[in-house]
Amino acid sequence: MRAYALCLAFNGISFQSLLGAAILISFAILSGCGGDNATGTTPAGAGAPAGQEASASQAAPERGVGSPIREGGALKLNTPAGPVDVPVEEAQYVNTDEGYSDYVEVWGNGLSLTAQVGGKVDENDREQLQYQSLAGKPLPIQLLDPENGEPMTIEIPGSGSYTILGGALVVENFEHGPSTVDRWQGRVDLTLQTVQGPIAVTGTFSFGIVPVW
């Protein structure tokens, strides 16, 4: 509209003045005064409130993107001699065939532990095991290894090796990793055979666990 107003203002004056008006009109159009017929584009983010562009670039990452979880971790036990960490080198969630109960196997240096699930854990639409069905439920530890019939054992650093007479794992938190390893955290209760007789040991656990079929 400003371009047309300039044209009307210079109507009927000398050629030199008209030429000057034409130059002014051209400058006005090139400066973005072309109204609805302007073809220029607005730079990205122009006119946006401060910080808005930065917020848009901080969108949540895609699912499955993140630091991989490593298999293994530790059992943190409260023993009569004080707190100790028992390293866990391997942990597997064994998803068995239909008609058989799933189970958990945990291994380390002198550590052999198998816990019964007592049923099956289904998968969701992303092929992730639905561990929430286990949360808060004690998973009883078996007395004997289901494969070789050997007793469950644990090596407690600075103390020695003990036979596991019973106990349970209780999953309190879990996380699906971006690859093939998930994370479990929770409580552990063990009954150990000692020279003084059975003793109860409690603690916590945190380890990366691999689902296998």
> Between β-strands 153-156 and 138-140, what pairing exists: parallel, antiparallel or unpaired?
unpaired
pLDDT digits (tens, 9 = 90+) for 59-105: 333 335 578 999 999 999 999 889 999 999 999 999 998 888 999 99
Q: Region 152-162: what's the mean pLDDT?
A: 95
Average pLDDT value for the chain: 78
Inform me whether the pLDDT recorded for 17 exceeds 50.
no
With a CB cutoff of 8 Å and minimum separation 6, the contacts of 3 are 25, 28, 29, 33, 34, 35
Q: How far is CA 87 from CA 71, 157, 204, 206, in A?
A: 11, 9, 12, 10
**Percent of residues, the chain, with pLDDT higher than 90:** 58
Cβ atoms within 10 Å of 27's Cβ, excluding its own: 12
**Under a CB-based contact definition with an 8 Å cutoff, are residues 6 and 19 in contact?**
no
Q: 123-127, 131-135, 160-164, 179-183: which range is least confident on average?
A: 123-127
Closest CA to 139 of 162, 178, 181, 172: 172
Q: Region 147-166: what's the mean pLDDT?
A: 93
**Percent of residues, the chain, with pLDDT higher than 70:** 69
Inform me whether the pLDDT recorded for 145 exceeds 50.
yes
pLDDT digits (tens, 9 = 90+) for 180-202: 999 999 999 999 999 999 999 99
The pLDDT value recorded for residue 149 is 87
The pLDDT value recorded for residue 65 is 58
